[in-house]
Amino acid sequence: MNPIVVGVDTGGTFTDFVLLREGRLRLLKLPSTPHMPERAIVDGLRCLLPDPPPHGFTLLHGTTVGTNRILERKGARTAFLTTEGFRDLLFLARQDRRQLYSLKPEPRPCLAERALCAEVPERLAHDGTVLRPLETDGLGRLIRRWKREGVEAVAVCLLFAYANPAHERALREMLASHFAVSLSSEIAPEFREYERASTTFLNAYLTPPMTRYLRSLEQEARGLGAIRTLISHSAGGLMDTGRACALPVGTILSGPAAGVMGAWAVGRGVGAHRLLTLDIGGTSTDMALIDREPLRTNLSEIEGMPLRLPRLDVHTIGAGGGSIARLDAAGGLRVGPESAGADPGPAAYGMGESPTLTDAHLVLGHLLPQVFGFGRVAVDPDRAARAIEPLAHALGLSLHAAADAIVAQAQAKMARGLRSVSAARGISPETCTLLAFGGAGGLHLCALARMLSVRQWVAPPYPGVLSAYGLLWMDAVHEARRTVLTPLPDTRSVRLDAVLLELRAECEAAMHAMGVPADGYELHAFADLRYAGQSYEITVSFDPDRPAHAREAFEQQHAARYGFTMPDRPVELATLRLRAVALHPKPAGACWEPPDATLGDLPNTMRLTLHGETVQVPVIPRGALQPNTPIPAPALIVQPDSTLLLEPGWEVFVDSRTGALIGRAVS
């Protein structure tokens, strides 16, 4: 019997569902409930599965709860415990200046409270040797003070704990009965103290609220028939809820990572292997590059705070459907990063007053109110126009010119972001296929392809739920890693074999927790390499029997990225990584059921503004499009989850294998 699987992606504006049952895909889209995200999920599950299946179902979930808690500064009150002499580690940061020309540069953001930062006497050498034993005489007094001050979580980051976690583990034994404890030796067992401390602190900051949310969701889902709940993580895989509660910082890119995996699946289906992905939602736009497979990184930031975790290399900008248009201090037009979100939402929703990108599209005629948000979100174009009018007056523009300027500025930001993930890595956007999704992706697809000189674009069958669909293409993935800081050996190394055994044991435990049998997963080794004297690394595949092959791969990537190699310079192995992957069944060949939402009475044509000109274009339901049937341009291609604004200059057809729309530039 084929298993029933439900993918649920919670966004800032909508919560998306894709149900896989007996080879058929059913979709649903509901407004998000930001204050209780699980409420929208439960409502959607009840709608999709009114009667609990006799054999249950698997729930796959992409969540924004952790991300929003950091952005809104609504995590747990968290204390920080570190080696004596390093109390200000989180505040000193790297001493770099992000504002080079400011006479009063703003310090790097930090969520820690200095009064809750404390030290403990101990010291380890870089190789883990104990230079000073751990002293805990004053820890009891510290625990009592923290409890009086309402501390819920403690982040422990001792110097060189990645080489020897014994002192951190001893502290956890004393702290765990009082607080949620995050150890740097488990959260980020890699070198560079500030990045490790920041990652550990953010994890502790998220642990109490994320644990409450995930346990509540798991219980609710179980009551509806779920036999297990898996959470997507930033590296493009799935983990069990126990792991997600212990490593909530790993969910920072939970939803965007699922979107990239869905885009990768669609790209493979149409034969496009180098993709620029563009996910435009209600709050932000996420972009990534796929070159045969998604690119990955091991160091990133959120709100200026570093994260030392494996993740897909996704670039995010504050430009989505809910991005607020405003004038800056100099009277210039700005769009985002502030967003109206789901509550109050764009002015057209009827609750907010601020003009947004969605309001601009409504004024320009790019959106049909009767099909917006599966027909479940009532929008008022007149209210959108009234919100933009003051902005138009201040800019000295007509209403439509002001709306057009809002759209143009948002697209300029998106184009810069797409160049940063492609051209900045030495890959020309012209050699890529642009794949857009998210509720607003189709509104900007043609314009951005033109701006980047992209010759081909793809619109998935249901772009508005692609992140939820991408959850169905994810595998169970766990990556264990350890910093070793040793010269790259020429032959097999006893020391590296010992580290790989430790990593293997960690992967086995993680796979077992997800119910994966011992022979049900694959292991892939990687190494972070650098030339001696360099500060940053390149990750390459690593074969313990043939280390020299890792050097060859490293120098190839170094030449591609930086334009040179140093063949006479020794190569250092900084960190070993072991990735466990348990393959899940994929929905390849599954067919989409038409959504329950109807498009209602659609007009045959629509009068809209396109790049400053008023044009009359046909309105075409996407379900009416057939393979090998010419599609006129310009046109509005409408479906319940999104709208595609088809501009002139493209030859468009339906891919017979996947149902995706493919556009190719007319020469």
- Asked whether residue 286 is domain-assigned, the answer is no
Q: What is the mean pLDDT of residues 418-437?
A: 91
pLDDT at 133 over 60: yes
Torsion of CA 407, 413, 415, 416, to 10 degrees: 160
pLDDT for the residue numbered 371:
78
pLDDT grade for 155, boundaries at 50, 70 and 90: very high
Residues 548 and 610 grouped into a single domain:
no
pLDDT digits (tens, 9 = 90+) for 197-212: 999 999 999 999 999 9
More confident position, 119 or 105: 119
406 Cβ contact list (under 8 Å, min separation 6):
325, 333, 335, 355, 357, 360, 388, 391
- 248 has a pLDDT exceeding 80: yes
567 with 644, same domain?
Answer: no
- pLDDT tens string 281-298: 877 889 999 999 999 999
Q: What is the pLDDT of residue 345?
A: 82
Residues 530 and 644 grouped into a single domain: no
Q: Is the pLDDT of residue 662 over 90?
A: yes
Which stretch of DSSP H or E encloses residue 278?
A: strand 274-280
- pLDDT at residue 102 above 90? no
- Distance CA(595)–CA(283), nearest Å, equals 24
Give the span between the Cα atoms of 596 and 588, in whole angstroms.
23
Q: Which amino acid is at 471?
A: L
**pLDDT range class, residue 342, cuts 50, 70, 90:** low
pLDDT beyond 90 at 33? no
pLDDT at 514: 87
State how far the Cα of 66 lies from the Cα of 356, in Å rounded to an integer. Answer: 25
Last residue of a domain, one of 169, 191, 210: 210
What average pLDDT does range 590-600 have in this prediction?
Answer: 76
Residue 301 CA to residue 513 CA, distance in Å, equals 29
Amino acid at 68: N
Per-residue pLDDT at 110: 92
- What does the buried/exposed string (b/e) look like for 117-150 if buried means 16 or more CB atoms within 10 Å of the residue's CB? bbbbebbbeeeeeeeeebebeebeebbeebeeee
Instruction: Indicate whether 540 and 615 sit together in one domain.
Output: no
- Per DSSP, what are the bridge partners of residue 182? 155
Residue 338 resides in a domain: no
How far is the C-alpha of 497 from the C-alpha of 489, rounded, in Å? 12
Q: Does residue 367 carry a pLDDT above 60?
A: yes
Burial call 349-381: b when 16+ CB within 10 Å, e when fewer:
beebebbbbbbbbbbbbbbbbebbbbbebebbb
Q: Give domain status of residue 325, yes or no.
A: no
Pair 106, 174 in one domain = yes
Position 222: which residue type?
A: R
pLDDT in tens, 76-100: 999 999 999 999 999 998 877 777 8
79 and 184, same domain (yes or no): yes
Of 120-134, 294-308, 648-662, which has the strongest mean pLDDT? 120-134
* CATH number of the domain enclosing 507: 3.30.1490
- Per-residue pLDDT averaged across 627-650, rounded? 89
CA distance 639 to 368: 10
Instruction: Specify the number of domains making up the chain.
Output: 3
Q: Which of 65-74, 217-226, 248-257, 482-491 comes out lowest in average pLDDT?
A: 65-74
Q: What's the pLDDT score for residue 100? A: 80
Beta carbons within 10 angstroms of residue 424's beta carbon: 10
Mean pLDDT of 528-550: 94
Give the chain's mean pLDDT.
92
> According to the model, what pLDDT value does residue 405 have?
95
Give the mean pLDDT of 518-524.
Answer: 94
Are the CB atoms for 571 and 554 separated by under 8 Å?
yes
Mean pLDDT of 58-62: 96
For residue 628, the model assigns a pLDDT of 76
144 and 95 in a common domain: yes
What average pLDDT does the segment 239-251 reach? 95
What is the token pair recorded at 406? 């809002």
Model confidence band, residue 373 (pLDDT cutoffs 50, 70, 90):
low
Report yes or no on 105 lying in a domain: yes
pLDDT surpassing 70 at residue 400: yes
> In this structure, which long-range contacts are made by residues 553-561, counting pairs with CB atoms below 8 Å and at least 24 apart in sequence?
554/529, 558/531, 560/426, 561/425, 561/426
pLDDT cut 90: percent of the chain above it: 71
Q: Are strands 24-31 and 591-592 parallel, antiparallel or unpaired?
A: parallel
Residues 599 and 521 in one domain: no
Query: Does residue 175 form part of some domain?
Result: yes
Q: 573 and 621, same structural domain?
A: no
Q: Are residues 578 and 606 in the same domain?
A: no
What local confidence, expressed as pLDDT, does residue 596 receive?
Answer: 67
In a domain, 294, yes or no: no
The answer on 530 and 484 residing in a single domain is yes
Q: Which of 210, 244, 263 is the last residue of a domain?
A: 210
Most confident by average pLDDT, 145-149, 349-353, 488-492 = 145-149
Residue 511: pLDDT band by 50, 70, 90 thresholds?
A: very high
CB atoms closer than 10 angstroms to residue 383: 18
Query: Band of the pLDDT at 376, cuts 50, 70, 90?
Result: low
The pLDDT, as a whole number, for residue 375 is: 64
Choose one of 547, 582, 617: the last residue of a domain: 582
| CA nearest to 236, candidates 314, 149, 339 | 314
Q: Is residue 320 part of a domain?
A: no
Same domain, 486 and 609: no
pTM above threshold 0.75: yes
Query: Does the residue 102 lie in any domain?
Result: yes
1 pLDDT higher than 60:
no
- What domain range includes position 519? 476-582
Q: Above 90 in pLDDT, residue 213? A: yes
